[in-house]
Amino acid sequence: MNSPARAAVGNLVNELVLVDDDKLTVEIVSWIVKKSSYQSTLFTNADEALAYLRINTPKLLVVDFYMPQITGLEFITELHACSDLSRTSVYLCSAVSPSFEDSKLLASMNVQTLEKQLICDRKQLGVLLEEKLEIIPAKII
């Protein structure tokens, strides 16, 4: 059961939401997703991402671990405190493995880790999208 502090599930959106301050990573992921039939919303600003995620609940959320204003762990902890992420696959993306203590906290919030280079690999990202999202058919006009 959700705590009263958590918002009711907002708009469950069949998309990838990526939060990463590295513009090159965001551009690469954008290019990969545009070549697929999946939807995405990509952020380089953690505050903008939090505002969006308080209203929208994506099926797939990938957050960079090292960002300038807030770490990915702090971001996910803050979001977890005010949102129901039970229907979201959440990944913390980093080139460095989290500490044992951080790993325990992530596991308690059902957050998985993902190596940074895998999010920028077309095949690996494609597999993740295929596992977690539904293909949106093109609209016929």
pLDDT digits (tens, 9 = 90+) for 55-71: 999 999 999 999 999 99
pLDDT at 141: 53
- The domain spanning residue 88 has which CATH number? 3.40.50.2300
Is 2 within the bounds of a domain? no
pTM metric for this prediction: 0.86
H or E segment and range at residue 15: strand 11-19
Is 97 within the bounds of a domain? yes
For residue 57, list its beta bridge partners: 12
Residues sharing a CB contact under 8 Å with residue 6, sequence separation 6 or more, in sequence order: 81, 82, 83, 84
H or E segment and range at residue 53: helix 46-55
Is 107 within the bounds of a domain? yes
User: Residue 48: which pLDDT band, with cuts at 50, 70 and 90?
Assistant: very high
Does residue 1 carry a pLDDT above 90? no
Does residue 13 carry a pLDDT above 80? yes
For residue 18, list its beta bridge partners: 42, 62
Beta strand pairing status for 11-19 and 89-94? unpaired
User: Higher model confidence: residue 13 or residue 4?
Assistant: 13
pLDDT at 39: 93
Domain that holds residue 57: 11-132
